[in-house]
Amino acid sequence: MGSVVLSIDAELAWGFHDFDRLPHARVAAARESWLDLLDLLDEFDVPATWAVVGHLLLDSCDGVHADHPTPEGWFDRDPGTDERRDGAWYGAKLVDAIEDADADHEVGSHTFSHVEMGHTSREVAAAEMREAVAVAEQRGLSVDSVVFPRNYVGHRDVLAAYGVSCYRGTRPRQWYDRTPLGAAAKLFGWPTETVSPVLVTPETDEYGLINVPASLYLFCFEGRPRSVVERVTEDPVVSMAKRGVDRAASEGGVFHMWLHPNNLTDERDFDRLRAILDHAATVRAETDLEIETMGQIAAAMTDDEPRPREPIGPR
């Protein structure tokens, strides 16, 4: 039996706060796109793992975060206000919308303030998970699944210490990632005979965490190449995603897609996602294919036993 997993990096402005300049158009559209994405997932009854930056579970804060050991200036862009005034930095109502949706979503974590876990100290990593777990528990949520900011995997022992069950690992490299022929294949629409969608096998790592690797970033083919290809053929990402869903249904394994709400900036972006979700829902109805969250994948591999927690540092 195969599975499709959809994970969502839900970050609003926090995904860019360490950039020299914020991409204002993407940040400005992100709240509305978040809600529109929830509506689209409800339409097709597709559950997703929403990996939410922990700060977005707050409806307000002082902006100081004095006890957090990140370098000086890390929180400088935090306005220290509330969701009504600065909705790009606070998202309590958006998390309410996830919990109120018809589809059975999972609220996971994208760390507390979008720290690159593969490029930070253990002290900072522990603080990120400590704060992320604390704000989740204040809402009655548990943190079972983690998506690493910018996919830099690191400090998995810290995740294990805070009772996390699973994380999204990096996509296994394929031959077409490393050759000019592969680059050309992508440009001309990823033909079936040249480039095959990546199915992954979740595995337990040395810390007892389940690694649920990524298969396909749904906005990996953008800009002028996308526009050129779409004039003559189907959106190549839609083609690849459909073949991935079909392979999961026929061969078993997991096809794990992911995106950000801020990727959805115009109608053609929603058209892409609608076509993929429609196909996945149709295949699910006609086969034994499951559409699951990361937490459900992990629970099936661990008998759904809660993981012990050994917090690091002060609570």
Provide φ and ψ at 8, rounded to 5°.
-130, 120
Per residue in 25-34, pLDDT tens? 999 999 999 9
Q: How is residue 119 written in tokens?
A: 């490029």
Q: What's the mean per-residue pLDDT of the chain?
A: 91
| For residue 315, pLDDT beyond 50 | no
Question: Cα dihedral angle (131, 134, 135, 139), rounded to 10 degrees?
Answer: 170
- What is the β-pairing status of strands 166-167 and 145-146? parallel
Per residue in 235-273, pLDDT tens? 889 999 999 999 999 999 999 999 999 999 999 999 999
| For residue 311, pLDDT beyond 90 | no
Per residue in 149-201, pLDDT tens? 999 999 999 999 999 999 999 998 766 565 555 555 555 545 544 567 899 99
- Range 2-302: architecture per CATH: Alpha-Beta Barrel (3.20)
174 Rama sector, left if φ>0, alpha if ψ -120 to 50, beta otherwise: beta
Residue 192's pLDDT is: 47
Angle at 239 between CA 235 and CA 241, to 5 degrees: 115
Q: Where are the domains of the chain?
A: 2-302
Per residue in 57-96, pLDDT tens? 999 999 999 999 999 999 999 999 999 999 999 999 999 9
Q: How is residue 103 written in tokens?
A: 């589809």
Residue 197's pLDDT is: 84
Whole-prediction pTM value? 0.92
